[in-house]
């Protein structure tokens, strides 16, 4: 079978590389990114790099005229705001998915949760796996909402930023199990075809995730302070 020739460009390539570098921690939050330097490293001219950085503006980097771009800082306030936005958008996504999701899709979602369950069982301490699993679940719902707007913003704005945060603070103990339970509850409401209930369940889940994330952030800050004293 012939596979499609994907029309790519240096700019998209550069975009992917920079995103990967930031979300994998290669660049620190607050670090300045030089167009010229990036262009040299990627072995392209400044044009495509410039385009890549422009696309990231407001998402992963902030840009100041005549000075350049920096990787965004991600403090407690920013984290809170990110979760407020998530709660709003994903709540609506769940509401819409309760109506628009097909029976076949519901089945596949159930199978996804089953996979997560056994992954947690066997994985034990390896919470990391759950992080991308969590993302899978939420992505599936954004997808099924049928609302391209919401899907685009969740993928292009929210999840990128979330990955930055996850990179630097580990989950609270027991969070994976709690999240799975929340996911089950959401699935149940979706199966009931109850938009109201699905939105409510999703919002409770994200509120809980927010509390957990903030607690994790604060405990990480406390640990760092302790380390500085010693």
Site for DNA in 46-75 (CB under 7 A): 46-48, 50-51, 63, 65-69
Question: Which residues, listed in sequence order, are joined to residue 61 by a DSSP beta bridge?
Answer: 57, 71
Q: How far is CA 4 from the centre of its chain?
A: 28
Does 99 interact with a second copy (rule: CB under 8 A)? no
Compare residues 78 and 135 and give the one whose CB is closer to a second copy.
78
Cα gap 230→212, rounded to integer Å: 27
- Tell me how far, at minimum, the Cβ of 24 lies from DNA, in Å: 21
**Distance in angstroms between the alpha carbons of the first and the last residue of the chain:** 62
Q: Strands of 68-71's sheet, edge to edge?
A: 32-33, 68-71, 61-64
Does 42 interact with a second copy (rule: CB under 8 A)? no
Site for a second copy in 132-191 (CB under 8 A): 147-150, 152-153, 156-157
Closest to 161 (Cα-Cα) out of 23, 18, 4, 24: 23
- Tell me how far, at minimum, the Cβ of 197 lies from a second copy, in Å: 16
- The tokens for 88 are 């709003």
Q: How distant, in Å, are the alpha carbons of 93, 94, 100, 139, 149 from that of 132? A: 19, 19, 24, 10, 22
Q: Among a second copy, DNA, none, what does residue 44 contact (CB within 5–8 Å per kind)?
A: DNA
Compare residues 96 and 179 and give the one whose CB is closer to a second copy.
96
Of 9, 24, 45, 223, the residue at the interface with a second copy (CB under 8 A) is 9
Does 174 interact with DNA (rule: CB under 7 A)? no
Residues interacting with DNA, by CB under 7 A?
7, 9-11, 33-37, 44-48, 50-51, 63, 65-69
């Amino acid at each position: 079978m012939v596979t499609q020739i994907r029309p790519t460009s240096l700019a998209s390539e550069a975009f992917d590389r920079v995103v990967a570098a930031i979300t994998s921690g290669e660049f620190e939050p607050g670090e300045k990114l030089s167009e010229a330097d990036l262009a040299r490293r990627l072995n392209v001219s400044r044009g495509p790099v410039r385009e890549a950085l422009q696309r990231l503006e407001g998402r992963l980097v902030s840009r100041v005229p005549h000075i350049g771009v920096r990787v965004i800082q991600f403090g407690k306030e920013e984290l809170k705001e990110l979760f407020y936005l998530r709660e709003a958008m994903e709540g609506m996504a769940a509401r819409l998915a309760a109506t628009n999701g097909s029976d076949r899709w519901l089945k596949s979602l159930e199978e996804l949760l089953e996979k997560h369950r056994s992954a947690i069982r066997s994985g034990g301490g390896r919470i990391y796996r759950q992080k991308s699993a969590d993302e899978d679940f939420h992505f599936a719902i954004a997808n099924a909402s049928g609302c391209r707007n919401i899907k685009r913003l969740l993928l292009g704005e929210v999840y990128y930023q979330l990955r930055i945060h996850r990179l630097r603070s580990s989950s609270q103990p027991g969070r994976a199990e709690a999240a799975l339970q929340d996911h089950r509850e959401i699935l149940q409401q979706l199966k009931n075809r109850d938009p109201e209930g699905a939105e409510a369940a999703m919002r409770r889940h994200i509120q809980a995730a927010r509390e957990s994330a903030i607690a994790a952030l604060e405990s990480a800050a406390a640990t760092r302070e302790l380390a500085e004293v010693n």
